[in-house]
Structure formats: C-alpha cells, structure tokens
Amino acid sequence: MNQVKLEGPCKGPIELQIQAILKAPSDPNAIKVGEWLTVNKLDFFTMSGGGTLDGQGKAAWECKQSKKCTKLPNNLSFNSLTNSIIKDITTLDSKSFHVNVNQCKNLTFINFNVSAPANSPNTDGIHVARASSVNITESAFSTGDDCISIGDETEQLYITKVTCGPGHGISVGSLGGNADEKPVVGVFVKNCTFTSTDNGVRIKTWPASHPGVVSDIHFEDIIVQNVSNPIVIDQVYCPSGKCNKDLPSQVKISKVSIQNIKGTSRTQNAVTLLCSKGSPCEGVEVGDIDISYSGKEGPAKSSCENIKPNFKGKQIPAVCSAAADAPAPAAAS
C-alpha cells in the first residue's frame, strides 16, 4: 500500500477494519511526505480488525543513520479526531514515528501494539501533542525510541496497563526547544511495566530553553525491570552535546507525584532529579520508591539538583539526601 489519506468531515460514525498485513514501500524515498496512512477530521471514528501496518523500515533506518534521509513517514497519523477509538491494531517497523497524534480530543488506544528493534532510530511508539483526553491502555510497546512521547499542549493524557521495552521509556518532552509552546497539564502514567529500557518515566527539557509549563504529572504504581534510568527529571537534556548548559531551562515543572515505583536498575542511577537552576521544580512528591542495583560499584543511588521534594513512605535508595550524589543519567535520547 502506498500513501493513503482519509479525511472528513463525514455524516456519521465510520469503522475502518484492517484485517490484513499492509506493507509500506520499502524504498525510503517512495513516500515524499512524512505520513503513510493518515486519518483527519473525523468524529466517532473506529479503527480495528486485528491487522498490521508494516512500515518496512530497515532500509530507511540505515539511510537515516548515514544522514542521507531526512523526512521519513510515520506509519499512522491522526489529526483532528474526536470521540474515536483505535483498537486491536499492530504497527510494525515504522520508518519514523509509529503514530503521531495531533489536535485530537477524546481518543482511545486499546490493545494497540508497537514493534520495532531497539536500534531503530526515531521510532517513537505514539507521539501526542496539542491533544486532550487521550487514553492509552492495555497496550504493548517495543521500539527504538520513546514508547510514548508527550509534546506541548497535551492535557489529560491517561496511560495505564502499558508495557514498554525495549525503548527509551515514557517521556514528557523534550520541551522548551520552540517559542510559544503551550503547557503540558495532566499526565497520568499508572500500572505500567518497563523492561530493559533506557529510561522509565521521564520529564525532559532543553537548557537555554524558551519558557514553558509542565504541571500535574503523576507516575504511579510502576514496575521497572533492568531499566537504566528508572526515574528521571532532566532539565539539562542535550543528547547532541551542542547546547549551552550554562543557561538554565525556562520550563517550569510543578505538581509532580512519583509514587510506588519498584524493581531493578541497570545502572546505579535509580533516581535522577535534575531541575532548572533558573526555575527550580516545585510541589514534587516522592513516595514508596524501592529500586535495587546489584552492580560492583555498590548499591543504587540518586542525584538531585534544584529540587526539594516532599516525601511519603520509604525511599530505596535515599532520594535527595546529603549522601545521594550520583552522576547524570546514562546517555540516551
């Protein structure tokens, strides 16, 4: 199947059933724009059927890593959908993001599966931005970038009963890279499991950034298994090393709860809370953390900057204590 766009408005509910394995062209240059299957401007839309969208991304990833490709297509793009459901669908080996969600309201993903190798570049599972009341539940993500990434102007995003791994975890951001970004308010990640991921739950903002707001974020009832950086707030996020880290992030992070997160870390850095020196984090509550590390360096550690959390329950390792001085998180984008 080559590029397809389905666009409303339409007069009534529509269900699109995909019951086959649909394959995108393997040639990275066959689709000239950044979308393969696009669905726009529909109310009461359902995609179902148990089928698979195979992006055949291997050649595109090699092309991207050699910097010979720039604009590669997402497998799925949903723009301006309302009151809609995506269920019983698999997206496989996308050339770029598996799913891009933009300007949607009341959209649910259930039994939605994402699969790509750990070394596939920029293959975020679902990227959500400028959207409200999005639910992602009972779904599995194995990919080479963030399982779920959260952009600006996202409000009331609920992520529950999701498994992630391999991948880079579930990330709010990166934020502050562009002027006039709208706030991210109301993100709830609960009852999720991370296995052998680079990160677990994460908020990331650029240093020397534009102003922004991240508020009402809740990471609760999480299991981490062999995760490199299980809990991360990183306000000096700079994967390329070309940022001015001397200038602080201007993104304000507040009202964050990190509760009941248990399991094992692949590195000593179990908890990393590096907030902005120009706009320190406020209203962060940390409760019932129990993350172990069994490497030869010693037990798990935490590191904190420009943050004074409120504590509830036990903290293993000790969080933001005088003895908790760990290095910055292991490099991961």
| Inter-residue contact 37 to 7 (CB < 8 Å) | no
pLDDT tens-digit profile of 38-80? Answer: 999 999 999 999 999 999 999 999 988 777 787 899 999 999 9
Count CB-CB contacts under 10 A for residue 15.
11
Strand ranges for 32-169 from DSSP E: 35-43, 45-48, 52-54, 74-92, 99-102, 105-115, 126-129, 132-142, 148-150, 155-164
Q: Is 218 a catalytic residue?
A: no
The per-residue pLDDT for range 150-202, each reduced to its tens digit, is 999 999 999 999 999 999 999 999 999 999 999 999 999 999 999 999 999 99
Tell me the C-alpha distance between 148 and 264, whole Å: 21
pLDDT at 68: 79
Tens digits of per-residue pLDDT, 210-263?
Answer: 999 999 999 999 999 999 999 999 999 998 888 888 899 999 999 999 999 999
> Residue 327: what pLDDT?
46
Q: Is 61 helix (H, G, I), strand (E, B) or coil?
A: helix
Contact 271, 230 (CB under 8 A): yes
Give residue 331's pLDDT band: very low, low, confident or very high (50, 70, 90).
Answer: low
Mean pLDDT of the chain: 94
64 phi/psi in degrees, rounded to 5: -70, -40
pLDDT at 333 over 80: no
Catalytic residue among 98, 127, 168, 218: 168
pLDDT for the residue numbered 330? 56
Q: How far is it, in rounded angstroms, from Cα 228 to Cα 226?
A: 7
Give the rounded percent of residues in the chain with a pLDDT score beyond 70. 96
Give the residue-averaged pLDDT of 7-18: 96
- Number of Cβ within 10 Å of residue 33's Cβ equals 12
